Structure 1
Amino acid sequence: MKHDLIVSEFKRIKELGFVKNVKNDSSDGSIGNTFEYHLNVKENNLTEADFDDFEVKAKDEATTSVRSLFTKKPTFPPKGDGYMLSQWGYPDPNHPTKNKLNTSIYGHRWSLVDEKYNMRLEVEDDKIYLHVTDPTTSKTLNRTVYWDYEAIKKGSKKLKNLFTVVAKREKREDGYYFHYTNATVYLNYIGTDNFISLIKEGLLRYDHRIGVTGINNKRGPGKPHNHGGGFRIDGKYLPKLYQTVIEID
C-alpha cells in the first residue's frame, strides 16, 4: 500500500514517547517541524510533497485551528501581497505606523475588514476574484485581484496525498515536548473543480496573514512580516478533498 511506509514511520515516532521540540517556539508549526525532523525531512516551503509522496501536517490535540493547504500569492497583480496591503491594510495596534492585513475571506458571504471594506471570493471565468465593496453603499471598490485555476493546480500539486498528525504538548524546564498520538491518511486528492466548489460553499477560505514582527522576534519588533497568504480549511472538512480517508491510532 502506498501509505505503508509513512504509517510505519509514524508508529516508530509514536513509540519514542515525548520528544523535544526542535524549534524555539511552541506553535503548531514547531509540532510539524519536530515530526518532520524525526522523519528526516528537511524544513522546506517547496511545492513538492514532504515524504514519500505525502504532504505532512501536524497540530496540537488541544487546538481546533484550521489547516493551511498551501500559500499562494495572487496571479494578478504582480507583487499582489504588497498591493493588497497598500490598498486595504490597517494599523497594527502595537506598531501604529506599520500596517497589517489579517483576514479570512469566503466565497459564500462577505467579510468586514477594518470596518471599511467588505470582501468575498467570487469564481468566474476560471479565476477566483477578490471582490471589495463599500459596506455602506455596496459599491464595488476593487475587483482586479485574482488567482487563476492554473495557480490553484500548482499550489495543490503537493496535496495529492496528505498525512496529518496530532500531538500532545508538555512543557518542561528545558522547553516543550511533543508526543505524537494519532494520525490520518488522506489518499487521492479529488481535484481543482472540487476545490472550487468548496470555496463556493464557504468550507474553504483565503486568509491574508500580513503583519509585523513581535517583541520576541529575532529581527526585532515592528518589522514587516508576511506569514504567507493562502487557502485554508477547517480540519473536519479535509475528507471532502480526498477519495479515501484512513484513521491511524
Structure 2
Amino acid sequence: MKYAILVKLGGELIAAEYADYEDYKGFLKCPICREPVFLRKAYTRNNIQVPSSFVHHKSIPEISVCELRVGKYTKQDIQIIATTARNQRLTKLKISMWKYLKYNLAISLKSWSNYAKDAKKVKLLGDIIDYGMQVLENNIQFILENTLPRTEILFKNKDTRIAIVTEMQPFFDAFLKENKSNWQLHCKIAKEALELFLISNSMKEIRYRLLCCLCHPTVLQSMPELLDLDTETDEWRQKFLAYLTLQITFVFLTVNWIKIFD
C-alpha cells in the first residue's frame, strides 16, 4: 500500500516513499482495516525498481481489499484524513500544550512561576511582558508565514544567527539528526501548535508563562541591547520584535513533537 496512518499523531497519513520506519515502528496501521502494517523499503527485482510500500503483518484475503481502496485515494480523501488527524492533535494540544513546551531545547521553563512573581514586583518587567503580549497578538500572520519558515531554515542549516550555547550544541545536533527524515512533518506539527498558541484564548495563560521566561532579565542577557536601550524608543521595539518572534518560533521548533506525542 502507498499509505498508512500514524496513530500516535491522530491518524496522520504517511506516504511510504517518505516514511522512516524506525521512527514510526509500532504506530503504523492500515487506513482501512486498522491492522498493524510495516514498511517495506524500495528494492530492485529483475532490474525493476519496486517502490516502498506498507505491508500487513497478517496474510489474509481481506488485505487485497485494503490495498485496492487505499490505491484509489483521491486528493479529497487524503485531505479529509489529514483534517481529522489535525483536529485530534489540536485537541491534545489544548489540554497538554504547557507539558509539551517543557520539552523544548531553546529555554528552560522551570522558573516561570518565580519569573511571574518578579513581573508583579518590578513594573518595568511587567510592562515588557504586557508589550510582548501585544507583539504576539498583532503579528500572528507575520510569525507564522515569515518568521517560522525563516527560523526553520536557520535551525536546520545550523546558522550562526541562532545563538546556541556550546554545552547545548550536542543536544541540538542530536535533535536535528533524529528529525532529519521527518523534518517536513515535524515543522507541520510545530506550526499547528504555534498557531493554536497564538490565536486561542485558552492559550492566554500559556502565552503569559512563556513571556515571563523570555522577557526576564536573566534571559535577556543574551541580548544586552534590550537591557541597555530605552524601552520607549523605536529602536528597542524593533529589536524586541525581532528577538521575541525568533525565540517563540525557536521554542516550538525545538520540541520533538513526533516523539513526545502519545
TM-score bracket relative to the smaller structure:
under 0.3
Q: What TM-score, normalized to structure 2?
A: 0.25
Which of the two has greater helix per residue?
Answer: 2
Which of the two has greater strand per residue?
Answer: 1
Q: What TM-score, normalized to structure 1?
A: 0.26
Structure of larger gyration radius: 2
